Structure 1
Amino acid sequence: MPALERVPDSLRIASINVNGIRAAVRNGMLDWLESADIDIMALQEVRATAEQLHAVLPGWEIVNDEAVAKGRAGVAVVSRVAPQAVRTELGDDSIDSAGRWLETDFDLGGSTLTLVSAYVHSGAVGTPKQDAKWVFLDAMEQRMPQLAADGALALIMGDLNVGHRELDIRNWRGNVKNAGFLPRERAYFDRFLGEAGAPVDGVDGSTGTGLGWVDVGRRFHGEVDGPYTWWSSRGKAFDNDTGWRIDYHLATPALAERVRGYWIGRAASWDTRWSDHAPVVAEYAV
């Protein structure tokens, strides 16, 4: 799909689960990057050290957070200019946020723009992986109001490993008992995206308080299936567009008002993909 025509006085920001940055670069990521004209990238599942990142992405400013287990997870923010501040903590030491949460602050004409690269645990029902996912989502729910305070400009991007609504998964009926589409997981997003301060009834029957964030992709595309950002390697999921929309731009209301374009960089064909996820790109007026 062709890139968006550049909007004057804007930042073009992408979120990409690269499924291993070195493999992505070998398979054609740099060609895409040159044509897409990106200013800032939030990367997930990097699976590389800082040295390896600089080697495959020369000329960029790069900050990253590696997972404790080598060759796993890993997040990074790659930009034309260096961020002013970097943070990797998400709650206390009980939370496995290493390689999964990276906050960066940029100067935006005298205001601070906070960009987060997030990689939520995939989870697996009834296992410690799912327990870690609940803890991580709880920590996100605590952090998000702090990031959004006082009309802040903030953006959480990444592979959040939850399809929020039935529109976000082609085969949603077959996944209601699977990690990624569990009612309890989806209820977090009901609260993330609910009206700020208002009571929110979650799809799982829970009641909580809305945080007021905006799902940029859903707002831009409206009530349509997808567009999807990840496809299983099984069968012909990509060819048939049997996908999941699990990669997001979640913006504070003040930043959401600046969106001027949004698109999914879906490859033209299975054999031209350089990741099992597609880039999610949005343009923000500055």
Structure 2
Amino acid sequence: MKFISWNVNGIRACVKKGFLDFFNEADADIFCIQESKMQEGQLDLELPGYHQYWNYAVKKGYSGTGIFTKEEPLSVSYGLGIEEHDQEGRVITLEFENYYFITVYTPNSQSELARLSYRMKWEEDFLAYLKKLEETKPVIFCGDLKESQPSLTQEAKPKKKPIIICGDFNVAATELDLKNPKNNVKNAGFTPEEREKFKTLLDSGFTDSYRYLHPDTEKYSWWSYRFKARERNAGWRIDYFLTSDSIKDKIKDAEILTDVMGSDHCPIELDIDI
């Protein structure tokens, strides 16, 4: 299956810059966007053959995510179920028969790290959300499996569903993931705190698909609009496809589509047998 993720930095603006041309050319099974910057009813996006799911921020012109999928999911949920976090439209989760699919737009720690403490709380709650999804899911949706099915054998328990997560995580994981690491250690997106939280996420059972296939490649997915950064390729890799470790051997390809314009980010792609 082919998955695409793209921080479009405003879907209405991106549509005017060729979004639909790329969308139709990509022909992805699932296509995700982050930073939609719109409210319901502000854009009629016609995508024949796709089911559309949007999560809008309460604040106008801010944040927001969307997923467009050819296959209709078994269920859809929005946010983390925590009011503090769910005002900004940052998470959508689709459940399919064999896996969960999540798009996420992680909060930016902002200038002078004004939002770093909030970001740390978000990271902890997002990881807890993921681990809860990974729990064995019984036929009865509420209660403990052992209590609801005391005679159920280990072999008869339903298998855990793996998770695929994509989006803008607003962090460069290693020095390989940005052009000027030494000059950015104290800047949002490359602080020790943010990098440690991302490492904790990976260590909890997730694989960075691009780095899994390209362990030494320097390639970026975001460039500042200032100082001709994209022209000079002075960028950051902050957009990711992560998969549960249990399915990392099913990853066929992972790419960063640097030639696609229309945003300060470029799309990323995951091809996986699932």
* Range into which the TM-score falls when normalised by the shorter chain: 0.7 to 0.9
Distance 2:189 2:53 in 1: 28
The answer to whether the Cα contact below 8 Å between 2:120 and 2:197 also exists between their aligned partners in 1 is no
The answer to whether the Cα contact below 8 Å between 1:152 and 1:252 also exists between their aligned partners in 2 is no
CA RMSD of aligned residues (A): 1.8
Aligned partner of 1:166 in structure 2 is 175
Aligned partner of 1:37 in structure 2 is 27
Give the secondary structure class of the aligned counterpart of 1:167.
Answer: helix
Give the secondary structure class of the aligned counterpart of 1:239.
Answer: helix
Which of the residues 201, 208, 211 maps onto 1:192? 201
Structure 1 residue 91, shift from structure 2 partner: 4.8
Give the secondary structure class of the aligned counterpart of 1:274.
Answer: coil
Distance 1:160 1:15 in 2: 12
- Residues 58-77 of structure 1: CA distance to partner in whole angstroms, max 9, x if unpaired? 32210111001011000111
Relative to structure 1, is the Cα distance of residues 156 and 140 closer, same or farther in structure 2, using a 3 angstrom cutoff? same
Distance 1:91 1:174 in 2: 37
Distance 2:40 2:172 in 1: 31
Larger Rg, first or second structure (1 or 2): 2
Aligned partner of 1:8 in structure 2 is none
Aligned partner of 1:204 in structure 2 is none
Deviates more, 1:61-70 or 1:28-37: 28-37
The answer to whether the Cα contact below 8 Å between 2:33 and 2:65 also exists between their aligned partners in 1 is yes
How many residue pairs get matched?
250
- Residues 143-199 of structure 1: CA distance to partner in whole angstroms, max 9, x if unpaired? 2222334542211110010111101111111110011000011001111112xxxxx
Relative to structure 1, is the Cα distance of residues 246 and 115 closer, same or farther in structure 2, using a 3 angstrom cutoff? same
Distance 1:50 1:57 in 2: 14
- Residues 234-262 of structure 1: CA distance to partner in whole angstroms, max 9, x if unpaired? 11211121110000111101232211111
Distance 1:158 1:93 in 2: 21
Give the secondary structure class of the aligned counterpart of 1:171.
Answer: coil
Which of the residues 272, 276, 280 maps onto 2:268? 280
Which of the residues 223, 226, 230 maps onto 1:231? 223
Find out whether 1:136 has 2:125 as its counterpart: no
Which of the residues 54, 57, 67 maps onto 2:46? 57
The answer to whether the Cα contact below 8 Å between 1:95 and 1:132 also exists between their aligned partners in 2 is no
| Unpaired stretches in structure 2, ≥5 consecutive residues | 137-159
Distance 1:185 1:91 in 2: 23
1:97-246 equivalence runs, <5 A: 98-107=88-97, 111=98, 113-124=99-110, 128-150=114-136, 151-194=160-203, 211-225=204-218, 227-246=219-238
